């Protein structure tokens, strides 16, 4: 059926046809048996490409290089990533190293430097060990089943790789969309240290892809918050190589809508995986705001609630302390009228028209002890909805982040 989206079991970025990837351990991160720290992705053919990057005013030169590369008009063939070191806060050397990393990876992959995007994630203020980067890219073996290696090579404090693959029926052709992502702290709306790479074998107009991607990000990765911190390196990129053989998707068509839905599905699934693996997290937190006057109100309210430390602490303690939802909603500056608000915790109504209603506390606590806690806030003012994803705040988060460099 046109537009039908299907999940691919064990899907990953190389679910998309005509892409190969791989990773290796180059010695940048502390060694462990399963660890990788350099990865690459290569398309057999040139790709349409789009990127969304951190809005921080202090960015890694890797981001700067990618912005230049994407503006340069070259078709993109692939990307390289290292984890362990962010290549940020280094003055001019960081820019030199980012350019050099593209040169090294392109040589290893047999393409041109201006066809390769570069990504780094990890600690700020330490120079990239270029010798290790070189040996890493030289030793990486690319394969059509290498998505998992790329996903592992991106990880910093992530406890497991994040991968997803879906197919979308575009005019009778199943196109594949696959992605990998890494978190897991310093994540907040506007691309926090979050790297997300999506590959698709769809043929799609590059201009359309570049218009579509920020819109998709605004309802997926930009609604993810772990700790309110954004980073210097956050990036979401999509490469589309056309290997599926569909007629090129252009703006204003049903095919464009269908592809956008598939891309959104892929990004939302990755967003949920990132949230669930937030540093120290024990619960996935989902905040749904409905009936806002404007989309911006819905998005702001959902994100503010999902990033409230008090809300996050209450989720950790399975404490139905809904006053904190109201307080966070109030400070979000989204339009809200107290007498119109309904609140639900995992489907149980606990406030109606601004008045608390008696609920079976033990039952709600038991629901909140599950894997996933969903707060729904119905503002009943308009028809704009938004969902934000986050996680609880735990002692473990503090432990992880109080001694990260030591």
Known binding-site residues for substrate equal 156, 182, 193, 279, 401, 406
Q: Does 3 bind a copy of itself (CB under 8 A)?
A: no
Which two structure tokens, joined as six digits, stand for 202?
């769809």
- Tell me, rounded to whole angstroms, the distance of Cα 350 from its chain centroid: 32
Which two structure tokens, joined as six digits, stand for 171?
């005019």
Q: Does 185 bind a copy of itself (CB under 8 A)?
A: yes
- The residues pairing with 122 across neighbouring beta strands, listed in sequence order, are 84
Number of residues near a copy of itself (by CB under 8 A): 69
Residues within the annotated binding site?
A: 156, 182, 193, 279, 401, 406
Q: Does 404 bind a copy of itself (CB under 8 A)?
A: yes
| Shortest distance, position 223 Cβ to a copy of itself, whole Å | 16
Which string of x and - marks every residue 331-370 that binds a copy of itself (by CB under 8 A)?
xxxxxx-xx-----------x-xxxx--------------
Cα separation, 133 vs 96, in Å, equals 14
| Shortest distance, position 302 Cβ to a copy of itself, whole Å | 15
Cα separation, 264 vs 270, in Å, equals 10
Interaction residues for a copy of itself, span 229-268 (CB under 8 A): 229-232
> DSSP state, 249?
B
Of the residues 14, 15, 193, 387, only one is catalytic, namely: 193
How many other CB atoms are there within 10 angstroms of residue 79's CB atom? Answer: 29
Q: Does 292 bind a copy of itself (CB under 8 A)?
A: no
Q: Does 324 bind a copy of itself (CB under 8 A)?
A: yes
Cα separation, 276 vs 252, in Å, equals 35
Q: Is the peptide bond before 184 cis (omega within 30 degrees of 0)?
A: yes
In the complex with a copy of itself, the residue whose CB is nearer, 12 or 233, is 233
Angle at 121 between CA 117 and CA 124, to 5 degrees: 120
Judged by CB under 8 A, the residue of 9, 32, 33, 57 near a copy of itself is 57
List C-alpha distances in Å: 123 to 96, 127, 311. Answer: 18, 10, 28
In the complex with a copy of itself, the residue whose CB is nearer, 5 or 400, is 400
Is residue 351 packed enough to be buried (19+ CB in 10 Å), middle (13-18) or exposed (0-12)? buried
Interaction residues for a copy of itself, span 107-136 (CB under 8 A): 123-125
In the complex with a copy of itself, the residue whose CB is nearer, 123 or 261, is 123
Interaction residues for a copy of itself, span 84-103 (CB under 8 A): 86, 88-91
Instruction: Enumerate the active-site residues.
Output: 193
């Amino acid at each position: 059926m046109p537009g039908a989206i299907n999940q691919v079991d064990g899907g990953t970025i190389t679910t998309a046809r005509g892409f190969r990837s791989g990773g290796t351990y180059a010695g940048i991160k502390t060694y462990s048996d399963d660890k990788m720290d350099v990865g690459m992705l290569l398309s057999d053919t040139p790709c349409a490409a789009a990127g969304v990057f951190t809005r921080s005013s202090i960015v890694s030169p890797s981001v700067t290089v990618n912005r230049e590369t994407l503006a340069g008009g070259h078709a993109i063939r692939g990307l390289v990533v290292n984890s362990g070191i962010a290549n940020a806060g280094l003055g001019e050397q960081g820019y030199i190293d980012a350019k050099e990393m593209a040169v090294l990876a392109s040589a290893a992959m047999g393409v041109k430097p201006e066809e390769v995007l570069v990504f780094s994630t990890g600690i700020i203020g330490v120079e990239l060990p270029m010798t290790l980067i070189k040996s890493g890219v030289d030793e990486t073996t690319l394969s059509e089943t290498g998505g998992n290696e790329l996903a592992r090579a991106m990880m910093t404090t992530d406890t497991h790789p994040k991968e997803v693959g879906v197919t979308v029926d575009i005019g009778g052709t199943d196109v594949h969309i696959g992605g990998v992502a890494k978190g897991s702290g310093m994540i907040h709306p506007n691309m926090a240290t979050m790297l997300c790479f999506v590959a698709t074998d769809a043929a799609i107009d590059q201009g359309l892809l570049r218009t579509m991607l920020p819109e998709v990000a605004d309802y997926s990765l930009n609604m993810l918050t772990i700790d309110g911190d954004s980073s210097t390196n956050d990036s979401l990129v999509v490469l589309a190589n056309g290997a599926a053989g569909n007629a090129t998707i252009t703006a204003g068509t049903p095919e464009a809508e269908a592809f956008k839905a598939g891309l959104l599905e892929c990004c939302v699934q990755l967003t949920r995986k990132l949230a669930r693996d937030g540093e120290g997290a024990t619960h996935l937190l989902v905040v749904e705001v409905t009936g806002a006057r404007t989309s911006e109100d819905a998005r702001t309210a959902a994100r503010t609630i999902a990033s409230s430390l008090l809300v996050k602490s209450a989720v950790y303690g399975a404490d139905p302390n809904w006053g904190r939802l109201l307080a966070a909603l109030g400070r979000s500056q989204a339009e809200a009228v107290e007498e119109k608000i309904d609140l639900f915790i995992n489907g149980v109504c606990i406030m109606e028209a601004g008045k608390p209603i008696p609920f079976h506390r033990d039952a709600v606590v038991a629901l909140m002890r599950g894997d996933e806690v969903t707060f729904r806030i119905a503002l009943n003012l308009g028809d704009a909805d938004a969902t934000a994803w986050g996680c609880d705040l735990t002692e473990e988060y503090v432990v992880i982040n109080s001694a990260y460099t030591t």
